[in-house]
Amino acid sequence: MARSTVVIAAVVVAFLVAFPVPEVTAKKYLVGDKKFWNPDVNYAAWVQGKHFYLGDWLYFVFYRDQHNILEVSKTDYERCISNHPLRNYTRGAGRDIVPLNETRAYYLLDGRGGCFHGMKLSVTVETPPPPPPPM
């Protein structure tokens, strides 16, 4: 009995060495997946079922001469007003990153056309879940 316990413990240790528990890593989300940041994409549906954690990233890919990516207040988001953005994430290449580095709601929209054809996205950033308990 004691002997088999030792064997099991050795196997467990060998396993942990071979397959260490992966670090919780930040995730980069390609907004809209294959549809990218474009008109007539249902971003509310895209957000459904996803969890955004502190340290994750949103990656926006779009036609740089047609769209941009601005952060606005909740009120402006609901009304699609882009005149006084809180932050402008557009850098000019049509490839922009929004670092989700605060646990709060982010309200993002296309400012060129004021939520042009539904181009608005709201995500709520959560604290990452605790690591699994030790064995």
Ligand X SMILES: *[C@@H]1O[C@H](CO)[C@@H](O)[C@H](O)[C@H]1NC(C)=O
Asked if residue 124 lies in contact with residue 52, where contact means CB atoms within 8 angstroms, the answer is yes
Q: Provide the mask over 92-131, with x wherever binding to ligand X is found by CB under 6 A and - wherever it is not.
A: x------x-xx--------x--------------------
97-120 per-residue burial string, b: 16 or more CB within 10 A, e: under 16: ebebeeeeebbbbbbbeebbebbb
73 near ligand X (CB under 6 A): no
Identified binder of ligand X from the candidate list 31, 62, 76, 90, rule CB under 6 A: 90
- Least distance in angstroms from the C-beta of 134 to ligand X: 30
Name the residues that contact ligand X, by CB under 6 A: 68, 70, 85, 88, 90-92, 99, 101-102, 111
